[in-house]
Structure 1
Amino acid sequence: MSFLVLVLVLWIEKFSALRRRVQRDGFFVGELLRVERGRQPRPWLTLAIMVLAPVLLLALLLHVLQPVAYGLLALPVHLLVLLYSLGRGDAKAALGPLRDAWRRGDEQGALHVAERDLDLRAEQPGELSRQVQGHLLWQAYQSFFAVIFWYFLLGPAAALAYRLLALTLEHSRQASVQALTGRLRHWLDWLPVRALGISFALVGNFVAVGRVMLHDLLNGQLRAEPWVVQLGRVADDIPEDDGAEQANQRLDSLWDLLLRSAVLWYVVFALFTVFA
């Protein structure tokens, strides 16, 4: 069923706006702030209420539905949970105004658009180009790759846990909750980041990516975001001193790299489903 759900998610993303209707975070954010206001900082208790409890309820629901009608009743639950667990917004579409500014040659306007739309601040156009490349790679990873990795490996409860942790980290106002959530998110990112790095090596510059990965493969302290950005840029042969002259072409090339990696993941998932 997992592979069928993954295929349906692609179809819905292409032809429907269902994801935007499913991804309503107002209730979760409101409850998170209410829980944080109502007690002294107890990060483990806050996460137990806001993350563990929904995940356990989902697991119980799926356990009840799975034997009914050969699992057909569980299929829409899988689909809706996975759609909710994907990242918010469209990473590529969000770059539209910035790419227009670059296309016009308006470097100053590009700096303002990046700060307004992407919350990226840079002093120089070349620096902005590198930041935007990193933004695209990280958003693609945390919005899609990490979610489908945990969904295929452990099911919808794991995908939901990943997204709820991400939402808690983004919206929490207590430093202790943010710190604990960040640590849990760090360890949830450890395995899918390395899986994405391997796929970058297979569809991009294998030697360069392998050189970077072998150096830090088992480093548990390495943060996920800078490593995803580094691996993506190395896989696409983007030099460190790359300027802003080919900014749009670089983004197109990175997007193609991400698409090739996504296709590779789906092929692996399909083969595993057939032969497992």
Structure 2
Amino acid sequence: MSFLVLLLAVWIEKFSALRHQVQRDSGWTRELNKLETSPRLSGRPWLVLSVVVLLPVALLGLLLVVIEPVAYGLLALPIHLLVVIYSLGRGDLLGDLGPFRDAWRREDLQAAALVAKRDLDICADSGEQLLEQVEGHLLWEAYQSFFAVIFWYFLLGPVAALSYRLLALAEEHGENPALVERAGQLRHAFDWLPVRLLAASLALVGNFVAVSRVMLHELLNWNISAAQLIVKVGLVAGEIPAPVAGVEGINNLDRIWALLLRAAVLWYAGFALWTVLH
């Protein structure tokens, strides 16, 4: 069922607006901020995380235990699908890049800087740094929005996928520095394995030798963040040239996206093979 759910999730992502209907975080975010500012809980970030992350995950696990034996698990299919869709990243990655691409293609660096700040929350001191940061943004967002989610769903099911997304939301929307730090630590642990698997996949579909040189030093490095690792690997795997203004700079983004698509196809082929063999 996991492979079917992942196929349906991709179809819905591309051809339906259901994701935007499902991904409603306002109520959860309000509850998080309310607990953060509570006098009794403000100094207990682990307890707040338990309430906003562990409790929903436990309720989901209990629900699945109850309904999965019913009707050969068919009743669990829509729940799995909704959880995966909810757990995917927020926003439209390619759509958000559109205004920046247009400005960069015109070599209007001032407009590119403005839309990068507005749409991507990216600031830079120069045009070259700006494009480098946008390239890194594309790699990181693709990883955390899609690859990390489907990895944990396929490995451990919807409970793990939902845990990853709730930790990401807590890190992003938390206002208590201690809570944000704890959520980041847990998310770092969640990211350690899938980001290295994606790096290996990028090596297979890109420049294997260049990625191998990077991974030789970073494979077991616990201190490097997932964002840093995927950016380092992605740029060398895609043999991305130095950033320049105009169409050539946009080609860098297209090459990165094509690299990510090849990695996604490789993952789905691996999921399909695993499903057939088991």
Does TM, normalized by the shorter one, top 0.5? yes
Q: How does 1:1-276 map to 2 (within 5 A)?
A: 1-38=1-38, 39=40, 40-239=42-241, 241-245=242-246, 246-276=248-278
- 3-state SS in 2 of match to 1:92: helix
- Mapped partners of 2:175, 2:111: distance in 1: 33
Structure 1 alignment gaps of length 5 or more: none
Partners of 1:189 and 1:63 in 2: CA distance: 26
Report the AA paired with residue 231 of structure 1. V
TM-superposed deviation, 1:247:
1.4
Equivalent residue of 2:244, what SS? coil
Deviation at 1:202, TM superposition (A): 0.3
Deviation for aligned residue 1:244:
3.1
Residue 144 of structure 1 deviates from its aligned partner by 0.3
Once the 2 structures are TM-superposed, how far is the Cα of residue 238 of structure 1 from its aligned partner? 1.7
CA contact (8 A) 2:68 2:75 kept: yes
Q: 2:93·2:138 contact (CA, 8 Å) conserved in 1?
A: yes
Alpha-carbon separation, structure 1, partners of 2:196 and 2:166: 22
Return the alpha-carbon distance in structure 2 between the equivalents of residues 104 and 221 of structure 1: 39
Alignment check: 8 A CA contact 2:201 2:263 kept: yes
Output the aligned Cα RMSD: 0.9
Shift of 1:15: 1.4
Q: How far apart in 1 are the matches of 2:30 and 2:149?
A: 23
Please, what TM-score do these two structures have when normalized by structure 1? 0.98
Q: 1:200-220: per-residue Cα shift (whole Å, max 9, x none)?
A: 000000000011112110111
8 A contact 2:116–2:123 mirrored in 1: yes
Give the superposition deviation at 1:125: 1.1
CA distance in structure 1 between the aligned counterparts of 2:272 and 2:158, rounded to whole angstroms? 18
Q: How many Å separate the matches in 2 of 1:230 and 1:244? A: 21
**Dislocated runs of 4+, deviation >2 Å:** 241-245
TM-score by length of 2: 0.97
Task: Write the distance in 1 (CA, Å) between the matches of 2:243 and 2:106.
Answer: 19
Contact 2:5-2:81 within 8 A present in 1 as well: yes
The number of residues matched between the two structures is 275
Equivalent AA in structure 2 for residue 15 of structure 1: F
For the residues of structure 1 that align with 2:245 and 2:162, how far apart are their CA atoms?
A: 38
What one-letter code is carried by the residue in structure 1 that aligns with 2:14?
K
- 1-structure distance, mates of 2:108, 2:133: 17
Distance 2:173 2:68 in 1: 33
Identity of aligned residues (%): 61
Distance 2:210 2:244 in 1: 20
User: CA offsets, 1:175-194, max 9 Å, x none?
Assistant: 11011111101110000000
